[in-house]
Structure 1
Amino acid sequence: MAMIKFLPRRALLAGLVVMGFSASAVAATGTGLGQAWPNAQDVSASTHWHVYTFTNNGVQYVQVNDMYGNVRVAFGNVSGQFLVLPMGRDAQRLSTPQQTASTSTTAVPLTSYAETVYRGNNIQLRATPMSDGTTAFTVNPDTTTYAAAAPCDDPVECSSHSP
């Protein structure tokens, strides 16, 4: 009898936790998360990518778009705990300390062309082209000190990053 009372409470608690994460994601979506050209500053460290960050309820969301505005990957971060969001054409190719990406067994990383896409808020995100034409992304906590790149303040310049 006590077990029957315990299970509904546990299910209710789990439901509330999930609703809390969902509310955070929905609120972040209201700011442009998932959009081709969100109303946010491009904070990319590379001219080949557009990176946008959003913060809501202590969760930092990072979205990477290609030069054409296509969402490639997005993830959430809370104190170095990363959660890959199921959006973007490369979502399954994003590695975090908590989750290994799924990559082709025949694709070879072209590490000499790897580049830092974003560095800030104690995060480093790198993009590595693969021999099959895809891109693998890796995000890790960044504990190094660095001089932050100036964010892009000109919307025309920010949307015209080119190689």
Structure 2
Amino acid sequence: MSSARSLVRVALFAALAVSTSAMARQFPATGLGQAWPNASDVSSSPRWHVYVFIKDGVRYIQVNDLNGRVRGAFATANGQSLVLPIGVDAERTSAGPNASALTTAATGQTGETVYRDNDVRVTARRLPGGNMAFDADTTGCNDPVECSTHVQ
């Protein structure tokens, strides 16, 4: 009888783990552009807040500073990304394949990864004069250890 109870406990635990995992992967469809959206902060950096929204198959990634000010945002789908015209750093933001590598080569400024999943890596760079720039690199992630930090 105790083995049957153990089996039931294991089954319930497995079901709970699967449902919790599924809930963790759901993202809100609204809140883009807000200082403090009702979304989980998925930043890999303690210096930034990153929020992800999904609507109609498009993933929207927003970067805020620690004061809640929107700095930049991207839309990504099917290996493509584009810069959204929101945030105080939108004009200094780039997206596309190898965006961060191209920007680093052009400016000599390396960036800090603030978000990464299997499809996109977002980096923040401090520019001369104190401005910030953000890049969304859509080359994908080839390092399973690094990618697993915030796989969505």
Normalised by the length of structure 2, the TM-score is: 0.67
Q: Give the whole-Å Cα distance in 2 for the aligned partners of 1:35 and 1:55.
A: 15
Q: d(CA) in 2 for partners of 1:57 and 1:140?
A: 22
Say how many residue pairs are matched: 113
Structure 1 counterpart of 2:144, which letter? Y
What residue is the counterpart of 1:149 in the other structure? 149
The separation in 1 between residues aligned to 2:62 and 2:109, in whole angstroms, is: 23
Question: Residue 133 in 1 paired to residue 130 in 2?
Answer: yes
Would you tell me which structure has more helix in proportion to its own residues?
Answer: 2
Shift of 1:110: 4.0
Q: CA 1:53 to 1:121, structure 2 compared with 1: closer, same or farther past 3 Å?
A: farther
Match of 2:72 in 1: 73
Whole-Å separation in 2 of the counterparts to 1:137 and 1:54: 18
TM-score (norm 1): 0.63
CA RMSD of aligned residues (A): 2.2
Query: Aligned pair 1:59/2:58, yes or no?
Result: yes
Quote the offset at 1:150 in angstroms.
6.2
Cα distance in 1 for residues equivalent to 2:41 and 2:136: 18
Contact (CA 8 Å) 2:74, 2:83: kept in 1 or not?
yes
Q: Which runs of 5+ in 2 are unaligned?
A: 1-27, 100-106
Gapped regions of structure 1 (runs ≥ 5): 1-26, 101-107, 152-163
**Which amino acid counterpart does residue 112 of structure 2 have in structure 1?**
E
Q: How does 1:6-155 map to 2 (within 5 A)?
A: 28=29, 31-97=30-96, 110-111=109-110, 114-141=111-138, 142-147=140-145, 148-149=148-149
The one-character-per-residue Cα deviations of 1:81-101 (angstroms, maximum 9, x if unpaired) are 112111100011111127x8x
Identity among equivalent pairs (%): 48
- 4+ long deviations beyond 3 Å: none
1:13-58 per-residue CA deviation (whole Å, 9 max, x = no partner) reads: xxxxxxxxxxxxxx94xx2111001110100010110000000111
Contact 1:74 1:84 (8 Å CA) reproduced: yes
Q: Encode CA deviations 1:81-133: one digit per residue, 9 max, x unaligned.
A: 112111100011111127x8xxxxxxx6543xx21010014110111111111
Residue in structure 1 matched with residue 4 of structure 2 by the alignment:
none
C-alpha distance in structure 1 between counterparts of 2:150 and 2:56, whole Å: 26
Aligned counterparts of 1:139 and 1:95: Cα–Cα separation in 2:
6
